[in-house]
Structure 1
Amino acid sequence: MEDSETHNLKRETIEQQYKTVRERTSNFNSYTSGGSHVMEYGSTSIKAEKIYLYQGFDPASVNFPPNELSHDTQMEAINQRDADILFLWHMYKNSEDGSKKKEILKQISETMRHRIHLDGSIDLIGTVLYGPAKGSVILNTIREPGLPLVDDWQCLKSMVRLFETHCGSLTQYGMKHMRAFANICNSDVSQSAMEEACVAACSSSHDPTQWHPSNHGYSA
């Protein structure tokens, strides 16, 4: 859409649009800061056809110049797990001094503290379950290509819920730890052992009300 809205679609071909979008989406072939891969599927015999045959034509675009997007400036991207912090930060920067600004700053601080709590709790659970030498290794293990993330999806759901009950909602940020929960299931840890580890990791550091899944919902 970004490309179509800045071109005369009676002059631009499907192939031209593909190349333009591929370059833009790959962050100008760097694949950094959020750049990704655009792929072609289906018949390539239509590449020479004009785009208006498929998307229609807006008469207002008849005199459009070539794409006006800047092609020499890389995109600034942010990890999706930081979107909530970015949103709060913009609210903070655009708020006038006063109680509202202080409240937003408090939300930012609480969110960051909860992130630190989540990361630390996962690490400690790994230590309790597997020992200090193996905990991190097992939790971060990547399975061989072709194997599913987890053998028992019901186990994954149960382990996530046990964690969130005792340690608080994962939030979007904490979803990055889903592989750790999968590896806990793949190593045949019992629910009782997992619950014991969660209690040990979170009983003294977790606010049982603010981040409880009854307020935020379960992630699985």
Structure 2
Amino acid sequence: MKAALITFPGSNRERDMRLALTKVNGGKPPVDVWHGDSVLPEGIDLIVLPGGFSYGDYLRCGAMAAHSPIMREVKKRAEAGVRVLAVCNGFQIACEAGLLPGTLMTNASLKFICKDVNLRVETTASEFTKKYRKGQTIRVPVAHHDGNYTLGADDVKRLEDNDQIAFRYADPLGTVSPETNLNGSVGNIAGIYNAKKTVLGLMPHPEDATDPVCGGLDGMGLFESIAESLS
């Protein structure tokens, strides 16, 4: 697998993401790409947009980063079928760039949320989640102020009908309810795919659940799924 890791001014999870990708890729690290670059290396299998506060989250989160020079190439490669993993601020950027539907608004509590949360795996019919079980509950961290996923009711139904919902916020037993919706996201949605399931965006941080010393290994299934699919 040949991965490219995009870094923006204000990214702060790129090192964590690099460690996770390197771990599942036989010690081979991703190629580092700066937001001001205009091209990606040839042969890239996976593009990763990491978490952080790109451009200081001015205007809307991800709005400025979506117009970085490198994003023109990211969108071009994504349209050609290259896989894209967009986490937290990366998810915001992907939505702003039109790679995924919807937008991420301020948390319903109006507060920054930093804690471990439970996610229910909604589908395993994906190169990103095939190592999990459908309905499995995993526990990973979140750290965001603007994670309230917002989309119209008709579009949400379209996501459901097309099996494009990847994860929902849930309790440890996998029950989805208003009480487990930590940020106000429509339908408790924590992560979604594009129509072809080649782009995955999610607010939680699976890269920070890939080492027992740091709290758990529940995020490894995602990275192992990607590595197995693209190797």
Q: TM-score range by the shorter chain?
A: under 0.3
Tell which has more relative contact order, 1 or 2 (C-alpha 8 A, sep 6+): 2
TM-score, normalised to structure 2, is: 0.22
TM-score, normalised to structure 1, is: 0.22
Between Structure 1 and Structure 2, whose CA radius of gyration is higher? 1
**Structure ranking higher in helix proportion:** 1
**Structure ranking higher in strand proportion:** 2
